Amino acid sequence: NTGKTIKIASFLVACIFNESFNFMLRIMEAIGIKIGMNASIMTTRRDNKRIRNADERVLQATKEARSSRRLEIATKNELYEEEE
């Protein structure tokens, strides 16, 4: 049934997002699929890349927030100096 397939797929995607791609290997092992070394290596690399990308996005957001705060402070200082 298509509804069940979609439901299973959405659960798997949520698990990958929240846990890791290695979680998929554990599911595959649980249903009796033999997992090879290449699959394990691939999921580890993919998880590491996912974590690096997330770290880079956080770093970029932090840089933008700092720049925004500096600009806001500089603008307030200029307005204050003009009032004096």
Give the start-to-end residue ranges of the domains of the chain: 1-83
| pLDDT of 83 strictly over 80 | no
- Cα–chain-centroid distance for residue 10? 17
Letter for the amino acid at 71?
L
**Residues 7-30, mean pLDDT to the nearest whole number:** 83
- The pTM assigned to this predicted structure is 0.56
The pLDDT of residue 45 is 92
The pLDDT of residue 47 is 86
| pLDDT of 61 strictly over 80 | yes
Q: Are 23 and 15 in contact (CB under 8 A)?
A: yes
**Residues 44-62, mean pLDDT to the nearest whole number:** 90
